[in-house]
Structure formats: C-alpha cells, structure tokens
C-alpha cells in the first residue's frame, strides 16, 4: 500500500509546515505540525521511524512511504485519487 506523505506551509508561525500521511485507499493516517520542511519529513516518518507504528497497524502486510512536494500535489494522480477516496469515506461516516 502506498502512503502518500506531504507537508504544506501553514501553522502558527512563518516557516511552520503541516505534514500529513494519506493512504492510497483514502485513509488518513497521521498529521504533525512541524517547524520546518526537514522536520516535517522526519515527523511524518519519511526520514525516521516516527508514525511507523500507525502505518504497520493499518497495513501489516506492508506499505511504502511516497513523498510528494507541495507544488506537485495537484498533478500527482495517486494523491488525487487518495483524496477522492478520502472524501467518499468522510461522506459515508457522516
């Protein structure tokens, strides 16, 4: 299962990033407020083992973390499909 990780500028202070992990099946897995882009990659588990307990619990048969730069989100087909599925899951839950 691909887990798409990204970080978008935002937060309380300039330079903050909100990192998110969204599975290809639309399941939102993790988010983290980070003080820089480098920390965002660490905090969401791309360059560390952070959050991997969550990912392993959701996908015990395996997963791959895929980083997508903020500027590429609109053009990334996998991300777009995961977002569509996420919105469907939200509608079903409501």
Q: What is the mean pLDDT of residues 4-24?
A: 92
Asked if the model's pLDDT at residue 13 lies above 90, the reply is: no
Residue 66 β-bridge partners: 4
Q: What is the mean pLDDT of residues 23-36?
A: 97
Angstrom distances, CA of residue 23 to CA of 8, 59, 69: 17, 10, 16
Q: What ranges in the chain are assigned the alpha helix state H?
A: 37-43, 52-58, 77-93
Q: What is the mean pLDDT of residues 4-12?
A: 90
User: How confident is the model at residue 43, as a pLDDT?
Assistant: 97
Q: What is the pTM of this model?
A: 0.93
User: How confident is the model at residue 82, as a pLDDT?
Assistant: 98
How far separated are the first and last CA of the chain, in Å rounded? Answer: 26
User: How confident is the model at residue 8, as a pLDDT?
Assistant: 95
* Nearest in space to 55 (alpha carbons), one of 79, 89, 30: 30
């Amino acid at each position: 299962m691909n887990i798409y990780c990204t970080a978008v500028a935002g937060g309380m202070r300039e330079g903050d990033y909100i990192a998110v992990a969204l599975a290809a099946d639309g399941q939102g897995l993790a988010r983290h407020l980070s003080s820089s882009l480098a920390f965002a990659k660490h905090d969401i588990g791309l360059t560390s083992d952070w959050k991997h307990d969550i990912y392993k619990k959701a996908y015990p048969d395996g997963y791959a973390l895929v980083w997508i730069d903020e500027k590429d989100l609109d053009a990334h087909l996998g991300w777009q499909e995961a977002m569509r599925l996420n919105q469907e899951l939200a509608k079903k839950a409501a």
